[in-house]
Amino acid sequence: DAGVIQSPRHEVTEMGQEVTLRCKPISGHDYLFWYRQTMMRGLELLIYFNNNVPIDDSGMPEDRFSAKMPNASFSTLKIQPSEPRDSAVYFCASSSRGVAFFGQGTRLTVV
């Protein structure tokens, strides 16, 4: 298995633009997590899904953030409109039986 695959690896966008981050979890994993990592706040859980259903989105910072999981092999995290304070590394992780495996992350820079 190729592991959790995220795209793009790097994204630079202008303030106000829409940004979409993508994630392909490990096949057979029934949980999917979106995290944000910054120097100031460390790792923050934004939202997680179980069997494609959002379970807890209390970590989503604002309505500008939304996440979907239309099927077991794909998820997106969208920011619209983006702001400079959204600049961070965004990780997707998938899990089965308790152990979470992470993708390589997307480094987002909003200028």
Partner 1 sequence: AQTVTQSQPEMSVQEAETVTLSCTYDTSESDYYLFWYKQPPSRQMILVIRQEAYKQQNATENRFSVNFQKAAKSFSLKISDSQLGDAAMYFCAYRSYADSNYQLIWGAGTKLIIKP
Instruction: Give residues in contact with partner 1 (CB under 8 A).
Output: 31, 33, 42-43, 45, 48, 50, 56, 89, 91, 93, 95, 98-105, 107
Our CB check for partner 1 shows the closer of 44 and 81 to be 44
With beta carbons less than 8 A apart as the criterion, state whether 21 and 90 touch. yes
* Pairing of the two strands 10-13 and 88-96: unpaired
Our CB check for partner 1 shows the closer of 28 and 99 to be 99
Token readout for 16 is 């106000």
Q: Which position has the token pair 């979106």?
A: 34
CB of 81 to partner 1, least distance (A): 26
Our CB check for partner 1 shows the closer of 28 and 42 to be 42
Query: How far is 20 from 8, CA to CA, in rounded Å?
Result: 9
CB of 14 to partner 1, least distance (A): 24
| Helix (H/G/I), strand (E/B), else coil: 37 | strand
CB of 18 to partner 1, least distance (A): 24
